[in-house]
Amino acid sequence: MTVVRDSAGRYFASFVIETGPQETLPGSPTEIGVDLGLTHFAVLSDGTKIDSPRFLRRAEKRLKKAQRDLSRKKKGSANRAKARLKIARAHARVADARREFHHELSTRLIRENQAVAVEDLAVKGLARTRLAKSVHDAGWSAFVAMLEYKAARYGRAFVRIGRFEPTSQVCSTCGVKDGPKPLDVREWTCGACGSTHDRDVNAAVNVALAAGLAVSARGAQVRPAPVPAPRDEAGTHPKLTPTAAA
């Protein structure tokens, strides 16, 4: 057993044990696509929206005050060490709350759905933008990692789709690519079929489609399946006359 003390002064005991084979969960008829974001932490292809707790943002006022108190303490003093420990404990509480939220949501999604699909986000790239603090606060990478290992443990399917899939640009009803849209556009109407979409829900449905999930969590087919060509016309070029083709 290894005993570890973290920066907040907490002690953890780490040890390894052998376990038997994991028990798979009962089958579920639903498959879900998940669109991760900042306005909502996650939007599901069935229309469910999960608010972002924003643990770090909510604790910022308390953290700033603790940081100011630390800056006033004399370097090397006992009071400075106490102030530093206070800051470390505040950050640890934020991290623990975020981790608990990730565990609860990932376990729920894995238990309720036979297959879960998410987009492979470029977190490192987003962390270099003006949204860096919000991206780190959301903790997408840790959440997706939990989904992946819990799916493997309990016999569920987990799929990552490519980060370059235009999930926000494609109509999930007819499949027509309607082009990029500014972030302030939260709802739009497809020019081809006239369907009105919530931007995030539409993206979540497209995540499910790109992953090869045939149905949404509503149980209805999301996009009409392709109709095969008749056998007697499959080899005929549209520009050739029947005589020429013969």
Report the pLDDT value the prediction gives residue 186, as an integer from 0 to 100.
84
E-assigned strands of 64-194? 115-119, 157-161, 187-189
Q: Is residue 25 part of a domain?
A: no
Q: Is residue 17 part of a domain?
A: no
Active site residues: 35, 119, 200
Q: Is residue 151 part of a domain?
A: yes
Q: Which domain holds residue 147?
A: 31-223
Mean pLDDT in consecutive groups of 10 residues from the start of the chain, 246 residues: 91 88 82 91 93 91 92 92 93 94 96 92 81 88 94 91 86 85 84 86 90 53 41 43 43
Q: Which two tokens stand for residue 6?
A: 């973290």
Q: Is residue 13 part of a domain?
A: no
Is the separation of the CB atoms in 81 and 8 below 8 Å?
Answer: no
- pTM equals 0.78
Location of structure tokens 């400075």: 80
Q: Is residue 184 part of a domain?
A: yes
The span from the CA of 38 to the CA of 56, in Å, is 13
Q: Is residue 8 part of a domain?
A: no
Report the pLDDT value the prediction gives residue 245, as an integer from 0 to 100.
43
| CB-count exposure of residue 137 (10 Å: 0-12, 13-18, 19+) | buried
Q: Is residue 246 part of a domain?
A: no
Q: Is residue 235 part of a domain?
A: no
Q: How many domains, in total, are found in the chain?
A: 1
The span from the CA of 31 to the CA of 215, in Å, is 7
Report the pLDDT value the prediction gives residue 178, as an integer from 0 to 100.
80
